[in-house]
Amino acid sequence: MPRGNMPRQPSRSGRQEGARRAQGAPPKGAAAQSAAARSNIHPASLKARKAPKAAGLKKKSVSGAGDAASRVSTYDPLAPERVRQIIAGLDQLYPGVTCALTHRSAWELLVATILSAQCTDVRVNLVTPVLFEKYPTVQDFAALEPEQLEPDIRSTGFFRNKSKSLVGAARKVVADFGGNVPPTMEELLSLPGVARKTANVVLGTWFKKNEGVVVDTHVTRISRRLELTKQEDARKIEEDLMRIIPRERWTDFSHQVIWHGRKLCVARGPKCADCALETLCHAADKTWSTVEIHPEAQP
Ligand code: SF4
């Protein structure tokens, strides 16, 4: 928690501003209020104020949003202690979390992960039980033509490409790997429709191998909000995260951040008041803040 007095919440009624408005005077703190207009961010967080003593601050910062250069020289968002606190906060919020995709085998997890592209896990989990009832084995998938699979996965979107990927992957698993999903990154990447994100999910979740960090839309958004990366490209984001997150945490970190993106740190209107990472987060689009905002911390 920040040192010093906690800022009071902005008035919900606005009554204390009424007299000033009646006299034609601008509301007190109008500029900051304007900056926070679409959120509940306390205006004081957007103005120069005494910064909290938090992980990542090498010495007491006196900078505000308008003094970024000064802050840059004192604030390290990748400081090991700050990263450790972020991981601890995720552990607190999502203890023992794992992959949200229902599966009973490596093949089922591979299928579910391919289907999850541009689709919610909830939708995938509705589709896959019916799918695996109809086609229980990888050999069943390999014997299909992609067009035969399309009606069964239509609701997950991009069903034509996904059908090709699933049938293609099944044929290669049967032809080259004896019907078993291969347990290495290189072999997984040789399967049609499998990129690093899918391979990382399968390797980390089923084979318990931390070969990389799963970078999906949630991990991208939250890593940027938390200033763990400035990159936009998934591979570069993954490289940044692999440098600062301990290897043994790569898979758990991925699942926790993905859950965080679904539950609290949603794309629009993140629920910052309920977030255990709030004092560590300076994201520009926070909806509530007790720490200074960093305008460059964009999702
Ligand atoms: S404080 Fe808000 S923006 Fe920051 S990680 Fe938490 S929910 Fe996301």
What residues are labeled active site?
197, 216
Q: Answer whether 224 contacts ligand 1 (Cβ < 6 A).
A: no
Q: What angle do CA 54, 218, 115 make, to 5 degrees?
A: 160
Average pLDDT of the chain to the nearest whole number:
83
Please say whether the beta carbons of 60 and 51 come within 8 A: yes
Q: Answer whether 212 contacts ligand 1 (Cβ < 6 A).
A: no
Beta bridge partners of 75: 57
Confidence bin at 74 (pLDDT 50/70/90): confident
- Residue range 200-222: mean pLDDT, rounded: 97
Q: What is the per-residue pLDDT for 22? A: 33
pTM exceeds 0.85 for this model: no
Instruction: Answer whether residue 68 shows pLDDT above 80.
Output: no
Ligand 1 nearest-atom number relative to CA 274: 7
Compute the distance from residue 128 Cα to the ligand 1 centre, in Å.
32
Digit-coded pLDDT (tens) for 3-24 = 434 444 433 333 333 333 333 3
Compute the distance from residue 275 Cα to the ligand 1 centre, in Å.
6
Q: Answer whether 278 contacts ligand 1 (Cβ < 6 A).
A: yes
Residue length, the chain? 299
Digit-coded pLDDT (tens) for 84-139 = 999 999 999 999 988 999 999 999 999 999 999 999 999 999 999 999 999 999 99
